[in-house]
């Protein structure tokens, strides 16, 4: 399956009571598709998946599939450190019509490479959906070794990996040693162009919530050979991307969306909202139109 160039790891909107806000989710989906998202990841880390119940996740998957209505692929975050639980959630996600699943490396258990391989292999065998692996050792401690990724890429429906290790050498080896149909996506917004330059397919992005069309322009410039323009785009966007990760994700991007007049609410504990100083820094870094900030700041603070 072709997930496109920019896969947005979508936030989960909450209402004033901390429950999933489905009308706001509808609005967010339409915004993301109009703003350059080629695919959507639902209930990933950015979607605060650790705080969502299984029932909430399935309702969210179903709702997003219905609202998207085939406009872009919908990828369900169904990974965990419990293989059986991941299989059950994957089957429920498949039943409601998602287009693919994302499986994070098992965290906390600290499995060996053979355990990681068997975990992913077993889940993949339980579904006909295409599988995107997610390697993020900064959160899971354990990393998927290159050799393990190569082994997994031989499984027909394991078709992609989101690489958030920051290790370009390892990424280059994965791209070189996996089959032509296997794709690698940067898991770091700031590494989009470097990853494209070694043969990556694109980025699984958080910044695309607010910078999606600008990122699409950057990628387009790179792909058509306007390298100076792409490099300039990259340098211009880097401070904005950095600002969107100045506090633990997804607090900054939710604040940014609220400031832009796209209400997504606050975050669930143990995440906390930005403080006033952080909010001011975010406003300055993203250089929002002053009129927009003036009119929406109160709304943002209300949600946060």
* Residues tagged active-site: 134, 162
Q: Is the dihedral of CA 127, 136, 3, 61 positive or negative?
A: positive
Task: Name the nearest CA neighbour of 7 among 74, 77, 79, 104.
Answer: 74
H-only helix segments in 35-159: 54-68, 83-95, 113-125, 137-140, 146-152
DSSP code per residue over 269-293: TTS----HHHHHHHHHHHT--HHHH
Task: In whole angstroms, give the CA distance from residue 233 to residue 105.
Answer: 32
Task: In whole angstroms, give the CA distance from residue 46 to residue 29.
Answer: 15
Task: Name the nearest CA neighbour of 230 among 245, 241, 214.
Answer: 214
């Amino acid at each position: 399956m072709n997930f496109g160039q920019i896969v947005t790891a979508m936030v989960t909107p909450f209402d004033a009571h901390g429950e999933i806000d489905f009308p706001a989710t509808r609005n967010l989906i339409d915004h993301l598709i109009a703003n350059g998202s080629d695919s959507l990841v639902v209930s990933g880390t950015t979607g605060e998946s650790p705080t969502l119940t299984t029932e909430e996740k399935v309702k969210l998957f179903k709702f997003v599939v219905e609202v998207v209505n085939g406009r872009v692929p919908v990828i369900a975050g169904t990974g965990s450190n419990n293989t059986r639980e991941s299989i059950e959630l994957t089957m429920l996600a498949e039943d409601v019509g998602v287009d693919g699943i994302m499986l994070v490396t098992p965290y906390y258990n600290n499995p060996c490479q053979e355990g990681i391989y068997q975990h992913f292999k077993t889940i993949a065998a339980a579904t006909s959906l295409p599988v995107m692996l997610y390697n993020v050792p900064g959160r899971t401690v354990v990393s998927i070794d290159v050799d393990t990724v190569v082994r997994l890429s031989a499984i027909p429906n394991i078709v992609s990996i989101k690489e958030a290790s920051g290790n370009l050498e390892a990424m280059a080896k994965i791209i070189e040693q996996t089959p032509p149909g296997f794709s690698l996506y940067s898991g770091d917004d700031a590494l989009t162009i470097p990853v494209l330059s070694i043969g990556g397919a694109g980025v699984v992005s958080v910044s695309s919530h607010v910078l999606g069309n600008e990122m699409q322009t950057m990628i387009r410039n790179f792909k058509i050979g306007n390298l100076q323009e792409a490099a300039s785009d990259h340098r211009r966007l880097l401070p904005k991307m950095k600002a969107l990760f100045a506090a633990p994700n997804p607090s900054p991007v939710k604040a940014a969306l609220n400031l832009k007049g796209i209400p997504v609410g606050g975050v669930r504990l143990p995440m906390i909202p930005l403080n006033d100083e952080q909010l001011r820094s975010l406003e300055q870094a993203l250089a929002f139109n002053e009129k927009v900030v003036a009119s929406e700041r109160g709304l943002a603070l209300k949600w946060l």
